[in-house]
Structure 1
Amino acid sequence: MTHDIEWEADHWIHCFHPKSAAEHTLVCFPHAGGAAGYYHGLSAALAPDVEMLIVQYPGRENRLFEDQAPSVEWLADTVARVLSARGLDRPVLFGHSMGAIVAFEVTRRLNRTSALPAPLVASASAAPSHVEARADLLGTLSVESDTDLLAWITGLGGTDLGMAENEELIGLVLSALRADLAALARYRVAPVRTARKGVAFA
């Protein structure tokens, strides 16, 4: 079991700028189709007392040849187990777009076993319960069309337009994006039995 957890930690969590004396930990979750490298610049810009850990989903960067995640829930179960094993002192979780949904589900799992709830910051995402909002977004995309998907992600401003000239790279990015969008389309938030502070979506 120890070997499994160590393996998972190395594969699931990136830390570009380790800070052994940091007082705070920020755990970041990439957007659909995204990878840990997306947060490298932000990690470098953080104050000395904040260490950033970035979740690396399977099927991209150093995990390129692994199967994509089958569901948001599967992602959340695994990441929560990995983070719990690290013994972090009340980390702040941050997720962008799809990452906000994954971070929300991880936060719920961490809070089940913690006396203090883990704070969550979410950006560019409707509330997890807003199934219609996700359906409207996904309904505008033709996930079978490379052209449509590429136009969509470049239109969001987070992708280098020059990437379109590299067909192999495009294929890898779009494969991860399709898998993530499929997981989002299937996702349904489970009811919350008790309200906990520190978790909120606008």
Structure 2
Amino acid sequence: MTWFRCAETRPWASMRLFCLPHAGGSAVFYRPWAKEISPAVEVHTVQYPGRADRMADAFVTDAHQPARLIAGAMAPLMDRPAALFGHSMGAVLAYEVARLLQERGAAPAHVFASGTRPPHDRGDERRVSDLDDDGVVEEIVKMGGSDAEALQEPELRELVLPYIRNDFTLIEDYAHRDGTRLAVPLTAIIGDSDPHVSPEQARGWAQATDGRFALKVLPGGHFYLTDQQPAVIAEIHRTLEVPAAG
């Protein structure tokens, strides 16, 4: 099964935006972006294994493994400039993918790192992956990532909790490795009331690249980008210097 889902192909697009979801997320999270983003941009979203239409595919347990696989899958799609956007766990994976692409002489034009601390400062928060099922659900609801009532359904829990727990294990076990230093422009975007990353911590992303760095703080919590989608897309347009949709 392929790694990317493209809701709206645009052969005329001048660049591609590759979006990487959060822990427990799937490609559907970014589906609305396809119609809202500039016509000059074609959106491709990563579908992690073990969920949705990849339910039969085995989980990956080391963050560096999906980064390698995603970078490899991007190779035939790098015939035009590309940018990466990752939220939370997806931001760390986007960073690792960008490093690999740079090593291969195909560095992305820009990296957007959303809703998380930089890779060299993962913090000391408690491990969600070690909690029981009720604890995992409680943490997800606190973050605003899923509907509390839906996760009370036993059938849904049985379906989604294995991959949610796997994702948290993957990112909580992540350790930054020395190696290629990123030289790509990077924008960190966070919500002003996100309990998991402060503006000061987000500024640490500047140490992750030798490229130009910018920080954008928007109203909202960890999933600020749900309510602030127009502002996020406007920031992408401004940064990538592409015309707005419509």
Shorter-chain-normalised TM-score: which range?
A: 0.7 to 0.9
Bigger fraction of residues in helix: 1
Q: Secondary structure at the match of 1:161?
A: coil
Structure 1 residues 111 and 195 mapped into 2: Cα distance closer, same or farther (>3 Å)? closer
- 1:13 matched to 2:4: yes
> C-alpha displacement at 1:104, in angstroms?
0.4
Structure 1 residue 184 displacement after superposition? 1.4
Residue 184 (structure 1) aligned with residue 175 (structure 2): no
1:113 aligns with 2:100: no
Name stretches of at least 5 consecutive residues in structure 1 with no aligned partner: 1-6
Detail structure 1 runs of 4+ shifted over 6 Å in the superposition: none
Matches within 5 A, 1:50-61: 50-61=41-52
Q: Of residues 93, 97, 107 in structure 2, which corresponds to 1:102?
A: 93
How far is 1:158 from its partner? Answer: 2.4
2:85 partner SS: strand
TM-score by length of 2: 0.71
Residue-pair matches, total: 189
Task: Kindly state the Cα deviation for residue 150 of structure 1 after the two structures are TM-superposed.
Answer: 0.9
Is 1:198 aligned to 2:189, yes or no? no
The alignment status of 1:170 with 2:161, answered yes or no, reads no
1:29 to 2, 20, 24: 20
**Does residue 92 of structure 1 match 2:80?**
no
Query: Counterpart amino acid of 1:163?
Result: A
**Are the aligned partners of 1:110 and 1:118 in contact in 2 as well (CA < 8 Å)?**
no
Aligned residues: percent identity?
Answer: 31
- How far apart are 1:196 and its partner, in Å? 1.4
Q: 1-side partners of 2:107 and 2:3: how far apart?
A: 24
TM-score (norm 1): 0.85
Deviates more, 1:117-126 or 1:104-113: 117-126
* 3-state SS of paired residue (1:191): coil
For the structure 1 residues 64 and 193, does the alpha-carbon distance in structure 2 shift closer, same or farther, using more than 3 Å as the test?
closer
Q: CA deviation at 1:42?
A: 2.0
Deviation at 1:34, TM superposition (A): 0.6
Task: Show structure 2 runs of 5+ residues with no match.
Answer: 188-204, 207-246
Q: Which residue of 2 aligns with 1:147?
A: 134
Q: Which residue of 2 aligns with 1:82?
A: 73
CA distance in 1, matches of 2:81, 2:25: 25
Q: 1:170 to 1:82 in 2, by over 3 A?
A: same
